């Protein structure tokens, strides 16, 4: 598998790109679409992109399939870590992020 962007340290544009994806998702919510449906689409897009970027690092389907468990473990682990970090952040900053007063 080639050196993918996920394997490198965060670069200076990491959060800028993430914020752009979040803004796009929020734009769909503003169009009277349920947030859960937008979340499902965003997760599918991330999975589809990660499958593509993974495939691009191999010379054959057989080579890719031989590393499928390793790829799954990597991406699921990354997602779990990022989700845990963000859930903790929202718990600590709940009132601020949700626009509620602390009174």
* Structure confidence by residue, pLDDT tens digits, 82-101: 999 999 999 999 999 999 97
Structure tokens at 9: 């340290």
Average pLDDT, the chain: 91
* Structure confidence by residue, pLDDT tens digits, 50-84: 999 999 999 999 999 999 999 999 999 999 999 99
Residue-range domain boundaries for the chain: 11-57, 60-103
Q: Say yes or no to pLDDT of 5 above 50.
A: no
Q: Is the pTM for the entire model greater than 0.85?
A: no
Helix ranges, 30-67 (H): 35-55, 61-66
CA within 13 Å, CB half, 16: 3
Residue 9: strand, helix, or coil: coil
Q: By the 8 A CB rule, do 102 and 95 touch?
A: yes
Phi, psi (degrees; rounded to nearest 5) at 10: -60, 135
């Amino acid at each position: 598998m080639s050196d993918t962007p996920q394997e490198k340290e965060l670069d200076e544009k990491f959060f800028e790109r993430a914020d752009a994806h979040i803004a796009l998702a929020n734009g769909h919510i503003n169009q009277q679409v349920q947030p859960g449906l937008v979340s499902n689409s965003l997760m599918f897009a991330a999975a589809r992109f990660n499958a593509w970027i993974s495939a691009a690092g191999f010379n054959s389907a057989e080579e890719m399939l031989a590393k499928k468990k390793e790829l799954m473990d990597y991406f699921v682990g990354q997602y779990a870590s990022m989700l845990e970090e963000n859930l903790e952040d929202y718990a600590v900053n709940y009132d601020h992020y949700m626009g509620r007063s602390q009174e």
